[in-house]
Amino acid sequence: MKSLINKKILLGITGGIAAYKIPFLIRDIIKKGGLVKCILTEGSKEFVTPTTLKTLTKQKVYMDEFDIEEGVIPHTTLSKWPDVFVIAPATANTISKLAGGIADNLLTLVGLDTRKPVLIVPSMHENMYNNEITQKNLEILKRRGFNILEPEEGELAGGDRGKGRLPEIERIVFEIEKILEKKDFPNKKIVVTAGATREYIDPVRFISNPSTGRMGFSLAREGVLRGGDVVLISGKTFLTPPYGVNFIEVDSAEDMKTEVFKHFDDLDYLIMAAAVSDFSPSSVVQEKIKKDSFNFTLSLSQTPDILKEAGERKKHQKLVGFALETENLLKNGYKKLKEKNLDMIVINEPTKNSGFEVETNKVTIILRSGDVYRFPLLSKEEVSKIIFDLLEGL
């Protein structure tokens, strides 16, 4: 999904060795629809060339504060251009200049002149990052409203290990998206469930379904982008949890119920996107069932209906349920919404490229008011945005 379409990102690249990674950042921003311009310091040209950046961005690369064309002053023009100014990698030297109000190159001139959001991405040796002076300078910038993305732990230049690595490109892009996204759920407590539960028959066999958790993970990511405090409770999955969530992994429906109600009293929104098993074995066999156990009979019991219980217990909370329906979508969906005291139900239609194990969904959404919204096949990221847009109006 092109989440940065027509967004203007100005990249300030300083003289740290991590500058060699910036072409990959540019590539990912452009893939998401963003427009990129670059400012280079003198030192950064040792690690990445202006020609490379110009080729990738299809834009002029700016290096000289005195490069005045047709009476246009570079730093005042560039400071007004972007939606966000990203300084990556940000060296200790550049951080100290910005904190101290020193403007001796084009990058620091723009950094002090701009009134647009600024994201500082420090990258340096651990000892430099932890130095009292560097930390004090970062605190000064935070107080002035600059966004700081902390470096990661890992291998550093020279072979040392520690905190100072440039964050992964995906992490930087996420932070840019977060800065640019509207914050219509500020500090709201949001619990999202995702994936399939497992109901064990014996130590190695279980009842489950093909849910990958993509829909729930996408919803959790959207919640973080829009300012929410998100807890993601998921069945087993191969997916990497989104940045910024409190991730809890569970096995069974009973486990998921326990975790949901640990948070229930304090939450504002519960979005039950998990594919929770309807049945579990009445008892679990403690040893692996042998292939020649011809007389084995599997007795099943219903699992707890987490959403129904949430509907019975809710006070201020908004509840969102998901359902897969093959017929009478509106009738069955509205019935479930009423029976479970929901505020919204999202009905998945099991058509080609919709539902489990794919990255798209075709959904119909019914609100408590009776309003119905039908959508064509969309990416799960697009569906997530729609759900939060509708939630914001409830």
80-92 pLDDT tens trace: 999 999 999 999 9
Is 365 a domain residue?
Answer: yes
Q: Name the domain boundary from 180, 215, 237.
A: 180
CA distance linking residue 127 with residue 362, whole number of Å: 51
Q: Is 137 exposed, middle or buried (0-12, 13-18, 19+ CB in 10 A)?
A: buried
CA distance linking residue 25 with residue 172, whole number of Å: 8
**Same domain membership, residue 388 and residue 339:** yes
Compute the chain's Rg from CA coordinates.
25
> Would you say 43 and 123 are in contact if contact means Cβ atoms under 8 Å apart?
no
The pLDDT, as a whole number, for residue 69 is 64
Overall average pLDDT of the 326-330 stretch: 84
The pLDDT, as a whole number, for residue 293 is 66
Q: Name the domain boundary from 122, 147, 180.
A: 180
To the nearest whole percent, how much of the chain has pLDDT over 70?
A: 95
Q: With bands split at pLDDT 50, 70 and 90, how would you rate the model's confidence at 145? A: very high
Examine the pLDDT at 355 and tell me if it is beyond 70. no
CA distance linking residue 39 with residue 45, whole number of Å: 10
**Same domain membership, residue 281 and residue 331:** yes
CA distance linking residue 355 with residue 212, whole number of Å: 10
**Same domain membership, residue 255 and residue 138:** no
CA distance linking residue 203 with residue 350, whole number of Å: 32
Examine the pLDDT at 384 and tell me if it is beyond 60. yes
**Same domain membership, residue 120 and residue 49:** yes
Overall average pLDDT of the 199-217 stretch: 91
Beta-carbon contacts of residue 337 (< 8 Å; ≥ 6 apart): 321, 344, 345, 366, 368
Is 134 a domain residue?
Answer: yes
Overall average pLDDT of the 119-144 stretch: 97
**Same domain membership, residue 206 and residue 156:** no
Q: With bands split at pLDDT 50, 70 and 90, how would you rate the model's confidence at 349? A: confident
Examine the pLDDT at 201 and tell me if it is beyond 80. yes
Specify the 3-state DSSP secondary structure of 102.
coil
CA 1 to centroid of chain Cα atoms: 13
Token duo for residue 46:
């040792």
Beta-carbon contacts of residue 262 (< 8 Å; ≥ 6 apart): none
**Same domain membership, residue 153 and residue 200:** no
The pLDDT, as a whole number, for residue 107 is 96
Is 3 a domain residue?
Answer: no
Q: Residue 78's domain is classified under what CATH number?
A: 3.40.50.1950
CA distance linking residue 394 with residue 215, whole number of Å: 21
**Same domain membership, residue 309 and residue 366:** yes
Nearest in space to 13 (alpha carbons), one of 36, 34, 43: 43
Q: What is the pLDDT of residues 161-194, one digit of tens each?
A: 999 999 999 999 999 999 999 999 999 999 999 9
Specify the 3-state DSSP secondary structure of 277.
coil
Specify the 3-state DSSP secondary structure of 71.
coil
Mean pLDDT, the chain, whole residue set = 93
Q: Residue 333's domain is classified under what CATH number?
A: 3.40.50.10300
Examine the pLDDT at 105 and tell me if it is beyond 60. yes
**Same domain membership, residue 120 and residue 221:** no
Beta-carbon contacts of residue 246 (< 8 Å; ≥ 6 apart): 229, 230, 231, 232
Q: What is the pLDDT of residues 39-51, one digit of tens each?
A: 999 999 999 999 9
Residue 44, domain extent: 8-180
Is 201 a domain residue?
Answer: yes
To the nearest whole percent, how much of the chain has pLDDT over 90?
A: 80
Overall average pLDDT of the 123-133 stretch: 96
CA distance linking residue 48 with residue 13, whole number of Å: 9
Number of domains in the chain: 2
**Strand extents, DSSP E, 41-168:** 61-62, 84-90, 118-122, 147-148, 152-155, 161-165
Higher local confidence (pLDDT), 290 or 47:
47
Is 69 a domain residue?
Answer: yes
Specify the 3-state DSSP secondary structure of 27.
helix
Is 2 a domain residue?
Answer: no
Q: Name the domain boundary from 147, 180, 213.
A: 180
Overall average pLDDT of the 124-135 stretch: 96
The pLDDT, as a whole number, for residue 64 is 75
**Same domain membership, residue 353 and residue 299:** yes
**Same domain membership, residue 195 and residue 279:** yes
The pLDDT, as a whole number, for residue 1 is 67
**Same domain membership, residue 216 and residue 246:** yes
Q: Is 45 exposed, middle or buried (0-12, 13-18, 19+ CB in 10 A)?
A: middle
Catalytic residue among 131, 209, 332, 341: 209
Is 1 a domain residue?
Answer: no
Peptide bond into 117 cis (omega under 30): no
**Same domain membership, residue 253 and residue 163:** no
Specify the 3-state DSSP secondary structure of 169.
helix
Nearest in space to 234 (alpha carbons), one of 219, 249, 218: 249
The pLDDT, as a whole number, for residue 324 is 86
Examine the pLDDT at 160 and tell me if it is beyond 90. no
Nearest in space to 166 (alpha carbons), one of 136, 131, 124: 124
Is 212 a domain residue?
Answer: yes
Distances (CA, A) of 125 to 148, 159, 160, 268: 17, 10, 8, 41
The pLDDT, as a whole number, for residue 379 is 93
Overall average pLDDT of the 238-259 stretch: 96
**Residue 93: active-site member:** no
